[in-house]
């Protein structure tokens, strides 16, 4: 099997990955024809991840397009608003669905006329890429390897190998040949990665154990082509099969030739994942916009998911699902702005940090590290306001609350370092104390 590991030294790889490892927090954006249907087709409402509504409703692609296209009305400036919300939330990169499984591209494509420019005149990717550059945010693209609309995509074969396919197409599709589809993939990805300037990140989606890599997608060729155009690009692991959700089994580190990072979805692995990894999460249980889903998480839950992820050594990619016109649901604005308010005060405990040096979690919260400092991210006040760390520190360590720079008494005891946090003001979502000084982790007492 051909593989395309980048020809780079460990040091060169570290240099290429550095912005991504330091950035920690990204925004995922799921926008497509499904955004107009918003979880409902022919009066029937669907739950769950409604960017899959074509599959849920079993629609063939022509019927799906006939229902969805009239509802899809992107307003000029919508992508700029998404990017500005990401900026204000403290996101250092964004991953936009340039094309999801429905096969509708948000960019000008000669490879397929099924795209937003042809349908509405709007080149969403162009506006998005310009806004990312204008705001100093790294530009990422999600690209669906599945394409339920393309006549050469062998949906029957994919279905037989564990990748769902809309039942309506099984009745109507005139299946072409999958080799032609792989040539199409290379051509369209070539358009996306040539015509819109810098590409910092590609988020491939998705493979199965039975349908992956070169056989399914011409993976080595795609990896090589994108890297030739953008040598510094960071790419995920989903050109190949990998556990992504909890019940897929344990997450393993991604082999170099299969991508740069592992992608747990809808959950944060308890012990993190070896190597580079990123947990992707929704705000309310669906990636694509749903008009009826109001299961919004709270700012506290989301800030703590971010902190949990980073303290375990991962990146956190949080989703935004714009409406049919590209506008942002007000609950999404509120949640991202709340995270931004927390990040404004506590960002040094997130950006550029490393995972907690402690093997076990603490009842009061989580820890991140940076140089000779630890960041104690408290979700609750420890018993009696005394926070104990199995951490032997040298010299005269100091501690202060990030929110108001108030000093926190810290002393050394035989079992490690003790902080009296009883007087600090507990903040909404999580309260951070910076503990500065060299230290060494002590074995946890049984
Ligand atoms: O099927 C997609 C799904 O719609 C969504 O895009 C997620 C985001 O990670 N990826 C796939 C499911 O793993």
pLDDT > 90 in the chain, percent: 91
User: Does the Cβ of 34 fall within 6 Å of ligand 1?
Assistant: no
Measure 30 CA to ligand 1 centroid, in angstroms.
9
Q: Are 280 and 336 members of one domain?
A: yes
Q: Are 284 and 396 members of one domain?
A: no
The percent of the chain in helix, strand and coil, each rounded to the nearest 5, is 35, 20, 45
Q: How far is 322 from 291, CA to CA, in rounded Å?
A: 11
User: Does the Cβ of 424 fall within 6 Å of ligand 1?
Assistant: no
Q: Are 304 and 263 members of one domain?
A: yes
Question: Mean of the pLDDT values across residues 87-109?
Answer: 98
Tell me how many degrees the CA angle 179-185-188 measures, rounded to the nearest 5.
Answer: 140
- Between 255 and 28, the more confident residue is 28
User: Does the Cβ of 49 fall within 6 Å of ligand 1?
Assistant: yes
Q: Find the helix or strand (DSSP H, E) in which 36 lies.
A: helix 33-37
Q: Are 322 and 425 members of one domain?
A: no
Q: Are 377 and 303 members of one domain?
A: no
Q: How far is 299 from 315, CA to CA, in rounded Å?
A: 18
Measure 350 CA to ligand 1 centroid, in angstroms.
26
* Those residues with Cβ within 8 angstroms of residue 43's Cβ, 6 or more apart along the chain or in another chain: none
Q: Contact at 8 Å (CB) between 57 and 51? A: no
Is 305 domain-assigned?
Answer: yes
Radius of gyration of the chain (CA): 23
User: Does the Cβ of 51 fall within 6 Å of ligand 1?
Assistant: yes
pLDDT-derived band at 173 (thresholds 50, 70, 90) equals confident
Measure 392 CA to ligand 1 centroid, in angstroms.
44
Measure 287 CA to ligand 1 centroid, in angstroms.
7
pLDDT-derived band at 251 (thresholds 50, 70, 90) equals confident
Containing structural domain, residue 436: 365-441
Q: Are 316 and 411 members of one domain?
A: no
* C-beta atoms surrounding 160 within 10 Å: 12
Q: Are 325 and 375 members of one domain?
A: no
User: Does the Cβ of 52 fall within 6 Å of ligand 1?
Assistant: yes
Q: Contact at 8 Å (CB) between 145 and 186? A: no
Is 174 domain-assigned?
Answer: yes
Measure 205 CA to ligand 1 centroid, in angstroms.
7
Of 349, 378, 393, which closes a domain? 349
Is 5 domain-assigned?
Answer: no
Q: Among 205, 280, 284, say which to mutate for ligand 1: greatest number of ligand atoms within 8 Å of CB.
A: 205
Instruction: Give the number of domains in the chain.
Output: 2
Residue nearest to atom 6 of ligand 1 (CA): 287
Is 356 domain-assigned?
Answer: no
pLDDT of residue 246: 80
User: Does the Cβ of 146 fall within 6 Å of ligand 1?
Assistant: no
Tell me how many degrees the CA angle 221-226-232 measures, rounded to the nearest 5.
Answer: 135
- Tell me: the pLDDT tens digits for 202-247? 999 999 999 999 999 999 999 999 999 999 999 999 999 988 888 7
Is the pTM higher than 0.75? yes
CATH number at residue 89: 3.20.20.80
User: Does the Cβ of 206 fall within 6 Å of ligand 1?
Assistant: yes
Q: Are 412 and 294 members of one domain?
A: no
Longest CA span, the chain: 75
- Tell me: the pLDDT tens digits for 276-313? 999 999 999 999 999 999 999 999 999 999 999 999 99
Residue nearest to atom 10 of ligand 1 (CA): 205
- Checking if the pLDDT of 3 tops 90, the result is no
b/e sequence 198-233, b meaning 16+ C-beta within 10 Å:
ebbbbbbbbbeeebbbbebbbbbbbbebbbeebeeb
pLDDT-derived band at 1 (thresholds 50, 70, 90) equals very low
Q: Are 267 and 374 members of one domain?
A: no
Question: Mean of the pLDDT values across residues 74-99?
Answer: 98
């Amino acid at each position: 099997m051909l593989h395309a590991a980048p020809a780079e030294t460990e040091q060169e790889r570290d240099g290429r990955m550095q912005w991504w490892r330091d950035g920690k927090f990204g925004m995922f954006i799921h926008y497509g024809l499904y955004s107009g249907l918003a979880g409902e087709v022919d009066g029937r409402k669907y739950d769950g991840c409604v960017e899959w509504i074509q599959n849920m409703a079993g629609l063939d692609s022509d019927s799906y397009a006939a229902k969805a296209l009239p509802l899809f009305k992107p307003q000029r400036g919508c992508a700029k608003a998404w990017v500005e919300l990401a900026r204000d939330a403290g996101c250092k990169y964004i991953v936009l669905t340039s094309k999801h499984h429905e096969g509708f591209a948000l960019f000008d494509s000669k490879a397929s006329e099924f795209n937003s420019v042809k349908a509405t005149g709007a080149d969403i990717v162009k506006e998005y890429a310009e806004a990312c550059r204008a705001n100093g945010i790294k530009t990422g693209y999600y690209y669906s390897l599945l394409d339920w609309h393309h006549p050469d995509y062998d949906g029957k074969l994919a279905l037989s190998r564990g990748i769902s396919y809309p039942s309506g197409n099984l009745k109507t599709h005139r299946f072409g040949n999958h080799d032609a589809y792989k040539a199409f993939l290379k051509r369209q990805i070539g358009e996306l990665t040539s015509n819109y300037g810098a590409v910092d990140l590609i988020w491939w989606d998705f493979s199965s154990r039975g349908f992956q890599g070169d056989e399914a997608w011409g993976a080595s060729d795609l990896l090589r082509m994108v890297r030739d155009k953008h040598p510094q690009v960071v790419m995920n692991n989903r050109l190949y099969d990998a556990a992504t959700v909890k019940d897929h089994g344990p997450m393993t580190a991604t082999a170099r030739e299969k991508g740069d990072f592992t992608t747990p979805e809808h959950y944060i692995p308890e012990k993190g994942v070896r190597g580079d990894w990123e947990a992707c999460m929704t705000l309310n249980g669906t990636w694509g916009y749903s008009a009826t889903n109001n299961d919004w998480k709270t700012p506290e839950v989301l800030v703590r998911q971010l902190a949990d992820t980073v303290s375990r050594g991962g990146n956190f990619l949080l989703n935004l699902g714009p409406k049919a016109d590209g506008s942002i649901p007000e609950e999404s604005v509120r949640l991202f702005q709340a995270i931004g308010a927390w990040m404004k005060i506590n960002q040094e405990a997130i950006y550029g940090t490393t995972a907690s040096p402690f093997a076990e979690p603490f009842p009061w919260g989580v820890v991140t590290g940076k140089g000779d400092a630890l960041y104690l991210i408290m979700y609750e006040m420890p018993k009696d306001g005394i926070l104990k760390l199995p951490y032997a520190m040298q010299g005269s360590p100091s501690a202060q609350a990030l929110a108001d720079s108030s000093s926190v008494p810290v002393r050394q005891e035989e079992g490690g370092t003790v902080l009296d946090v009883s007087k600090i003001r507990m903040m909404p979502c999580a309260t951070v104390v910076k503990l500065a000084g060299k230290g060494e982790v002590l074995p946890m007492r049984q």
